[in-house]
Amino acid sequence: MNKRVELTKQPRKPWQKSILQGFDSTLVNVLLYGVIIANTGVIVAELALPSDEKTFDDAQKSQKVPSPSPSPFTLALTLILALTLPLPLPSRRTSSTR
């Protein structure tokens, strides 16, 4: 365990720094939140469909296996993640001399 702690205290290599900077970028955050919000929308849309709605006729129903609807747990987890993950704001640089 101590070796792992010691490893985290070592200076990072340039490729490690660039990977971390990439994950800290605003573009990655916007893409991630876009995927989370789109996934939430898809799940809500799937839950909103009436169960008796016929997407396929009887011949197609016998050939295709219906996909399971998402569980309420999946919907709740997606909503919690979408609402609680903080969106990092750009840091403000203030000058002390004015």
pLDDT at 98: 45
Q: What is the arithmetic mean of pLDDT over 14-18?
A: 88
Mean of the pLDDT values across residues 35-46? 87
Mean pLDDT, range 22-51, rounded to an integer: 85
* pLDDT per position as a tens digit, 56-90: 455 555 555 666 677 777 877 777 777 776 666 66
Total-model pTM: 0.41
Task: Give me the helices (H) in 1-98, please.
Answer: 2-9, 14-23, 26-48, 58-63, 72-84
